[in-house]
Every structure is written in structure tokens, then in C-alpha cells.
């Protein structure tokens, strides 16, 4: 079954898409933790970082390049931001379609706070 993120990427369910190309799609998190909270997702459905293969290298690199571009678009590049990829149970991953969080727009504090 397609992940919720695959459905957003395919336009089957609504998503506030801010960037899309042939490898990745980015849309606003439904439950933002900061003024800017965007998810950058490979169009290919890869469950977690553990399933990434060499064939996915271009998409993984594109996620970082998209993050840079979107941070500029959002006006948060100069002040800085945080990129987070959660993996599996201990990483507190909730949606099993690999994604990178782009979080910013305020000082974020230390990375691990609990
Ligand atoms: P994870 O814990 O897997 O790294 O993060 C999953 C993220 O996906 C959470 O921040 C959650 O708010 C977001 N999310 C879950 N379902 C949806 C959805 O249907 N649409 C959007 N835009 N974000 C979602």
C-alpha cells in the first residue's frame, strides 16, 4: 500500500507542496514544530535510511540541495536551520517513507532535549 507521503506526492491527497522535481518532493508538515517545518521526501518510496541503496544516491543528494533551495525561499538560510532524518524505532520515526525535516524560523535550542 502506498504511504501517506506517496499519496501527497501523487496529488491523491492534499499537501502544501513547496518544491517538486523528478527525484524529490517537499511539503509543509501537518503539525509544524517551528515557523518553518517542511518535509523533503524522495519520490521513490524508501521506508527508512536502512533500505537506502547506491541507486538512491542521487535522490539523497537532491534532498540536501532541495533543503538549501527551500531554506532560501523561506528566508531562513542566513539565520540557519536544522535538517533531521529519523530512522526506525529509537529514532522515533512515525511515517515509514524516508523523509528529511527542514525546521527553522526560530532558535531551536540543543538538538536532543529529552
Ligand atoms: P517522523 O517522526 O516519521 O520523522 O515524522 C513524521 C512527520 O510527518 C511528523 O512531523 C508529522 O507531523 C508529519 N505528518 C504525518 N502525517 C502527515 C500528513 O498526512 N501530511 C503532512 N503534511 N505531514 C504529516
Question: Is residue 27 in contact with ligand 1, taking CB distance under 6 Å?
Answer: yes
User: What residue spans define the domains of the chain?
Assistant: 4-104
Which grid coordinates are listed for 76?
531562513
Number of Cβ within 10 Å of residue 104's Cβ equals 22
Question: Is residue 48 in contact with ligand 1, taking CB distance under 6 Å?
Answer: no
Residue 51: C-alpha distances to residues 7, 56, 98, 109 (Å): 20, 10, 9, 31
Distance 57 CA to ligand 1 centre (A): 23
| Average pLDDT score over the chain | 97
For the segment 49-90, what is each residue's pLDDT rounded down to a tens digit?
999 999 999 999 999 999 999 999 999 999 999 999 999 999
Out of 31, 32, 34, 83, mutate this one to test ligand 1's pocket (max ligand atoms within 8 Å of CB): namely 31
Domain 4-104: which topology?
HIT family, subunit A (3.30.428)
Say what the pLDDT of residue 48 is. Answer: 98
Q: Could you give the CA distance from residue 26 to residue 24 in angstroms, rounded to a whole number?
A: 7
Are residues 10 and 97 in contact, defined by beta-carbon separation less than 8 angstroms? no
| Global pTM value | 0.97
Q: Could you give the CA distance from residue 8 to residue 16 in angstroms, rounded to a whole number?
A: 9
Amino acid at each position: 500500500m502506498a504511504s501517506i507521503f506517496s499519496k501527497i506526492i501523487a496529488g491523491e491527497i492534499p499537501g502544501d507542496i513547496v518544491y517538486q522535481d523528478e527525484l524529490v518532493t517537499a511539503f509543509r508538515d501537518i503539525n509544524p514544530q517551528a515557523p518553518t517545518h517542511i518535509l523533503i521526501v524522495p519520490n521513490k518510496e524508501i521506508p527508512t535510511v536502512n533500505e537506502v541503496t547506491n541507486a538512491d544516491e542521487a535522490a539523497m543528494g537532491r534532498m540536501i540541495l532541495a533543503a538549501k533551495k527551500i531554506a532560501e525561499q523561506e528566508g531562513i538560510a542566513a539565520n540557519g536551520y536544522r535538517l533531521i532524518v529519523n530512522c526506525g524505532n529509537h529514532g522515533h520515526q512515525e511515517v515509514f517513507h524516508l523523509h528529511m525535516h527542514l525546521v527553522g524560523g526560530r532558535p531551536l535550542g540543543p538538538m536532543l532535549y529529552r
